[in-house]
Structure formats: C-alpha cells, structure tokens
Amino acid sequence: MGTLGRAAYTVGFWIRETGQAMDRLGSRLQGNNYFKEQLSRHRTLMNVYDKVPAVAKDAFVAPSASIIGDVQVGAGSSIWYGCIMRGDVNSISIGSGTNIQDHSLVHVAKSNLPGKVHPTVIGDNVTVGHSAILHGCTVEDEAFVGMKATLLDGVVVEKHAMVAAGALVRQDTRIPTGEVWGGNPAKFLRKLTDKEIAFIAESAASYKSLAEVHATKNAEPLDQTEFLKVIQKKVTVDKALIQ
C-alpha cells in the first residue's frame, strides 16, 4: 500500500471510529428514551465467559465467519464466508482438513427435551455443504453432509457416509458407513459406490487447496495501483456527468 493508499485508509478508519463514538455518546445523552440501531463491528473470533476459540495457524477462517466460545478448528481446515460456529453452552470440535462451507451453522445442546447434553464433533477431512445446520451431532472422519442438510441432536454420521442435500436427519439417528440418506425425515436411499467414497476425500482435498488461495488473497494489502484505478474511474464518471 503506497502513501496515498495508507492516507485514505487512515482517514476512513478515523471517520468510522468517530461515527461510532458519536452514536454511543448520543445514546447516553438520550437515556432510556431513545431508539437505538446498534452499530457493531464484526469479530471473527469471540470469547464467551471463559471460553476461547482455538484455531490452528494454517486453518482458514473467512473474514465474515463467526467463531464463538469453546470451538476448536484443526490444521488445514476451512470455515467459509458467513459461517457461524457457536460454542457457548457446549463445545465444538472440528478436525483437520475439514471444510465448513458458506453460511453453514454449527451449534451445540446444553440440554434438550430428553435432558441430554450434546457437543458437536466433526472429524477429519469432512465436507459440510453450503447452508447446512449441525446441532449437537457427530460427523466422523471423511463423511459428507450435503447443502442445506439439517442434523439434529444426537445424530451420528459414520465414516464414509453421506447425507444428501436438503435432508432433515432426526434426533439420535445413526447413518452407517457407506450409506446415503436423504429426504424429510431422512431415510436410507442406497449404498455409496467406491467412486463416491473416493470423491469425499477428493472434495476435502480440493477445498483445502482452495482455502489456501482465499487465505493468501485475504492477507494481501490494498494495492495502490488498483486503488488509483478506482479513484480515476470515479473522476472520469463525475466529469462525464458534469458535461
């Protein structure tokens, strides 16, 4: 980032800080008689009580993801954009080489109707598709959870098992090795082929490589040349409107 880029970034930062400070001051002056639309700065990692997230150094956590409380993320795993991992009333454990794709939600159960306590445990080289919901369940190594699937408390997805996209897996269901389950409620559909089992490992490896690309791009500073291109484009548009 060049001199102009750093200056623009610094000015923008202080404007945002000043705006939030003014909102807080105004809210205090109004006391209880105010309408408050909370301004909140997103935090990717957040403590709850004494529970602190533990993320491996080479794991990728997207900037818009939220990892909260007692959550462990293993080496080479990836938590993608818009995901929420909320380990507030119990723990979440994610192994190595696992990918939790965009907008997925992982939570836990302190207690449910049967009075059971369920952490969420996700093994190694697991793929969890976009917008899936995992709640107080166990997904063993090299298993596959399809897009928008929902796994409820006590569910166990065994190694080399697959949950089809959109499936709703009811409480305390066990999906055996080598089977595909789908539907609402989820039921046994068929056995996985050897090719499909191999695909599960390939999917995890592919996402691990892709996560490295995203991690590199997210770590890059604002490029001065690109910044100047944006400014020049805006000036050109403004001139055209004036003419």
Q: What percent of the chain has pLDDT over 90?
A: 66
- pLDDT tens per residue across span 115-147: 678 999 999 999 999 999 999 999 999 999 999
Q: Return the pLDDT at 230.
A: 66
pTM, to two decimals: 0.76
Q: Count CA within 13 A, CB hemisphere, residue 109.
A: 21
- pLDDT tens per residue across span 188-213: 999 999 999 999 999 999 999 999 99
Confidence of residue 113 (pLDDT cuts 50, 70, 90): low
* Mean pLDDT over the full length of the chain: 88
Identify the residue with better confidence: 219 or 86.
86
Q: Report which of 43, 47, 90, 91 is spatially closest to residue 69, judged by C-alpha positions.
A: 47
Q: Which helix (H) or strand (E) holds 212?
A: helix 194-219
Strand ranges (E), 146-213 = 150-151, 156-157, 162-163, 168-169, 174-175, 179-182, 187-191
Confidence of residue 226 (pLDDT cuts 50, 70, 90): low
Q: Is pLDDT of 97 > 60?
A: yes
Q: Return the pLDDT at 234.
A: 64
Q: Would you report the helix, strand and coil content of the chain in percent, each value rounded to 5?
A: 30, 30, 40
- pLDDT tens per residue across span 42-88: 889 999 988 999 999 999 999 999 999 999 999 999 999 999 999 99
Q: What percent of the chain has pLDDT over 70?
A: 84
